[in-house]
Amino acid sequence: MATIADVASYTGLSRATVSRVINDYPHVSKDKRELVHEAMKELGYFPNTSARNLRNRRTNLVAVLIPRLTNPFFTLILDGIEKVAEENGFQLIICQTKSSKKKELEFLNLLQTKQVDGVIFTSIENDWEEIQPYTAHGPIILCNEYHHDATVPMVRLNQVQGSYLGTKHLIERGHKRLAYCMGSTSGLSNDRRKGFFQAVHEAGLEVKSEWIFHDTYTMEDGVKTFNKILSLTERPTAIFTGGDEVAAAMVKEAKRNGLDVPGEMAILGFDDQPIASMIEPELTTIYQPGAEIGGRAMTIFMDCLKGKRDRISQSVMELPLSLVIRKST
Amino acid sequence: MATIADVASYTGLSRATVSRVINDYPHVSKDKRELVHEAMKELGYFPNTSARNLRNRRTNLVAVLIPRLTNPFFTLILDGIEKVAEENGFQLIICQTKSSKKKELEFLNLLQTKQVDGVIFTSIENDWEEIQPYTAHGPIILCNEYHHDATVPMVRLNQVQGSYLGTKHLIERGHKRLAYCMGSTSGLSNDRRKGFFQAVHEAGLEVKSEWIFHDTYTMEDGVKTFNKILSLTERPTAIFTGGDEVAAAMVKEAKRNGLDVPGEMAILGFDDQPIASMIEPELTTIYQPGAEIGGRAMTIFMDCLKGKRDRISQSVMELPLSLVIRKST
DNA sequence: CGATTTCATGGAATCGATTACAAACATCAT
DNA sequence: ATGATGTTTGTAATCGATTCCATGAAATCG
């Protein structure tokens, strides 16, 4: 491979001058500039990125932590991040955490070793105190996540408002007994729960503890949970789910059991994924602007890197969720 | 940030010795080794990746070219690649081409500048002759793609066999008039078409040119195409689609029009995405082992990098597709 | 015991760029 | 003519690691 030294000796100029041409700096005469360009083409020269990174102390790489690539909502976020990254000449390194605390910390190693300029979390597994020390090594942005004591910029969706909206909708449809399915016990889940109970209490309703279900993520979880609900003696008439996959699976299972949706059981989704409008009845769900939140996070990341923005003090940007009423409620 | 020189002077040793400890080389006495480890911890030292990359002429990074992140089939491939990459200490850089020839070539720049050790294509836009020169700079693997004259390893699915299987199934169900929807005019599409017509000709059937539809990718395309099919005077009774999204949208549109699926119209999907088993009736479709093909491609990539395998001569690994019979046919 | 091999360590070159500083020269106002 | 200013170019240091080679000490061997 040709190096900058080869180009220099080929043209009879110094490496410094060649470098100036490469980086399009001023103070290089027109003829030398052209000479260098020709030589680069002639020799098949391309600047070595590792060398540049070392010298410039920049890699133009961001690590994006994501639980699973096969989760459409997260790829939507990723898509939003990618768009802004591309506009800024940044590349993304995908880090699939599979929801493992250990893996999450391993990926932060990329930051310490300066393989990436910063990190965007689309979900956090560890406590903030575990993460905090890493903020010394570069910008860390939380996207779609919130930690009360995190000293970094966060872009989040107003989950409280979103679940409040959805729950209120169920109540307005006349439902008095609501089942609630949640995922993990993350900050995000807590917010949804808050919104749910806010609406419930406002309406003066009661939610029995056996109507609350934990760790429902996948379609299989949806089927299982739905059957648990069916077997309850005092059965809820509406279900608040943590995601469209779960909701879709429940709708299907309901039909398999001869239950009318929404007549005998109303089911509310979350995310507004493509599947929501493909199944029958179409899912009423809560739209989360995934691509937008990703884009915002990446924009903030760039501002931090450029020093336009403080990266080690807390800031929160909040986007609203909206209810999409279809046929399942 | 602490450097190796800091660790060296802190311990009173040379950089060479510290480096040996970092890389776990032999010929370092036990006490010095411990001394260095303590010093590293004490100083908060982490080896700089850019410096290592420069010196080692390796980045442990692969660029993965993918049309869209929001296409579930491709994220499945990505997931398979990621798994093997992780086992080998490699990271993935995502390159979303959005099916643009120009972007695709831009991403190949990562290879020339040695930002990545190699490239995996999950889809190719440019002609092979455009890509070929880049093979000089590192391993290039085609995953789920095939180019007749490509001089690199390819891992592909037997699309001819897959579409033959699906088409034969439709014929066995008694259908005589088959509509055929294809995507682009890539090698992959050609293969599917070949399998389709093979089955059709074997059965002595005829396919009118107005039963063939191009550029059907999305759900919207599905709806549009379905309506075109409905308006035909001599209407087909079965549809071979290029993907489950298209098929799902068609099933839905059929129901909206009061047509029974599969009674009045059989619809065959492709991919076996989660949505296939969520809609009603469930889609008969062709299962493509996405994760597996990704994993295989990455394994081959590693072999090329280790020199265990020739990277600039053609080799083809072909995996079979299988028919998943459900309710839409 | 002397010769040979192995171990432990350091010095210095190297990977391939960028950039501070200096020097040579041209331009221009006074 | 003098000094100030700006342009063009080169020299050499630097970024932070790895590794070849050399050296002395210790272990092994006949």
Chain A, nearest residue to B94 by Cα:
A92
Residue B220 lies in a domain: yes
Tell me the Ramachandran region of residue A213: left when phi exceeds 0, alpha when psi lies from -120 to 50, beta otherwise: beta
User: Does the distance separating the beta carbons of A50 and B59 come in below 8 Å?
Assistant: yes
Distance CA A150, CA A109 (A): 19
For residue B107, give how far its alpha carbon lies from the nearest alpha carbon of chain A (Å).
Answer: 10
Q: Are A141 and A121 in contact (CB under 8 A)?
A: yes
The answer to whether residue A255 is domain-embedded is: yes
- With beta carbons under 8 A apart, name residues in chain A contacting B47: 113
**Residue A27 pLDDT:** 86
pLDDT tens, position by position, A79-115: 999 999 999 999 999 999 998 999 999 999 999 999 9
* Domain co-membership, B43 together with B65: no
Range B108-132 average pLDDT: 96
Q: What is the pLDDT of residues A139-155, one digit of tens each?
A: 999 999 988 899 999 99
Whether pLDDT at B315 is above 90: yes
**Is B50 near chain A, with CB under 8 Å?**
yes
pLDDT of residue A41: 96
| A3 phi, psi to nearest 5 deg | -115, 175
- Residues from chain B that touch A75, judged by Cβ atoms under 8 A, are 69-70, 75
Q: Which nucleotides of C are covered by protein (CB under 7 A)?
A: 7-20
Whether B142 and B177 map to the same domain: the answer is no
Q: Is residue B26 part of a domain?
A: yes
Q: How far is B53 from chain A (nearest CA, A)?
A: 6
Confidence check: pLDDT of B239 > 90: yes
Q: Is the pLDDT of residue B182 over 80?
A: yes
**Range in A107-111, A210-214, B25-29, B269-273 the model is least confident about:** B25-29
Residues A151 and A204 in one domain: no
If we measure between CA atoms, which residue out of B116, B118, B113, B114 comes closest to residue B135? B118
By Cβ distance, the residue of B75, B113, B278 closest to A69 is: B75
- The closest alpha carbon to B254, from B277, B232, B285, B222, belongs to B222
The predicted structure's pLDDT at residue B35:
95
B276/B295 same-domain check: no
The verdict on B263 and B143 lying in the same domain is no
Specify the CATH number for the domain of residue A133: 3.40.50.2300
Residue B187 has pLDDT above 80, yes or no: no
Number of domains present in the structure of chain A: 3
CA B205 to chain A, closest CA, distance in angstroms equals 33
pLDDT, greater one: A280 or A322: A322
Residue B268 — pLDDT band, cuts 50, 70, 90? very high
Q: Is residue B324 part of a domain?
A: no
**Cβ contact A116:A63 at 8 Å:** yes
Closest residue in chain A to residue B275, using alpha carbons only: A275
Please give the average per-residue pLDDT across B256-262, as a whole number: 94
Domain annotation covers residue B53: no
The alpha carbon of residue A93 is apart from the nearest alpha carbon of chain B, in Å, by 5
Q: Is the minimum distance from the CB of A148 to strand D below 7 Å?
A: no
Are A153 and A294 found together in one domain? yes
- Whether A328 is covered by a domain: the verdict is no
Do residues A75 and A97 both lie within one domain?
yes
Nearest-Cα residue of chain B relative to residue A78: B69
- The band of B320, judged by pLDDT with boundaries at 50, 70 and 90, is very high
Question: Are the beta carbons of A49 and B113 separated by less than 8 Å?
Answer: yes
Token digits for B289?
């082992």
Query: Within this chain, do residues A165 and A126 fall inside the same structural domain, yes or no?
Result: no
pLDDT level of residue A76 (50, 70, 90 thresholds) = very high
Residue A278 burial (CB < 10 Å; 0-12/13-18/19+)? Answer: buried
Distance B92 CA to C1 C1' (A): 61
Helix (H, G, I), strand (E, B) or coil at B178: strand
Whether A128 and A202 share a structural domain: no
Mutation target among B4, B43, B49 for the A interface, most CBs of A within 10 A: B49
Task: Please give the helix or strand (H or E) that residue B199 lies within, else none.
Answer: helix B187-202
Q: Is residue B244 part of a domain?
A: yes
Answer whether any strand D atom is within 7 A of the Cβ of B29: no
Query: Do B255 and B280 lie in a common domain?
Result: yes
Mind giving me the DSSP string for B82-148?
HHHHHHTT-EEEEEE-TT-HHHHHHHHHHHHTTSSSEEEESS--S-HHHHGGGGGGS-EEEES---T
Indicate yes or no: CB of B245 within 8 angstroms of CB of A274.
yes
Question: pLDDT value at position B327?
Answer: 96
Domain identity same for B202 and B215: yes
pLDDT 10s digits, A234-254: 999 999 998 999 999 999 999
**Same domain as A172, residue A140:** no
Mean pLDDT of A180-186: 80
Q: How many CB atoms lie within 10 A of CB B283?
A: 31
- State the DSSP string of A97-163: -TT-HHHHHHHHHHHHTTSSSEEEESS--S-HHHHGGGGGGS-EEEES---TT--SEEEEE-HHHHH
Question: For residue A74, is it within any domain?
Answer: yes
Per-residue pLDDT for A35 more than 80? Answer: yes
If contacts are CB pairs under 8 Å, which of residues 76-135 in chain B contact chain A? 76, 78-79, 82, 86, 91-96, 109-110, 112-115
Q: What percent of chain A has pLDDT over 70?
A: 99
Q: Is A279 on the interface with B (CB under 8 A)?
A: yes
- Residues in chain A closer than 8 A to B280 (CB atoms): 252, 255, 279-280
**How far is B208 from chain A, CA to nearest CA, in Å?**
30
Residue nearest to nucleotide C12 (CA to C1'): B16
| pLDDT above 90 for B284 | yes
Task: Find the domain containing B15 and state its range.
Answer: 4-47
* Confidence band, pLDDT 50/70/90 cuts, at residue A185: low
Closest-approach residue (CA) in chain B for A54? B50
Compute the mean pLDDT over every residue in chain A, rounded to the nearest whole number.
95
* Phi then psi dihedrals of residue A238, to 5 deg: -145, 150
Query: Residue B174, by phi and psi: left (phi above 0), alpha (psi -120 to 50) or beta?
Result: left
Is the confidence at residue B185, as pLDDT, over 70? no
Closest residue to C20 (CA to C1') is A16
Q: Report yes or no: B34 at the A interface, CB cutoff 8 Å.
A: no
Q: Provide the pLDDT for residue B1.
A: 84
pLDDT of residue A186 exceeding 80, the answer is no
Mean pLDDT across chain B, nearest whole number? Answer: 95
pLDDT in the model for residue B122: 96
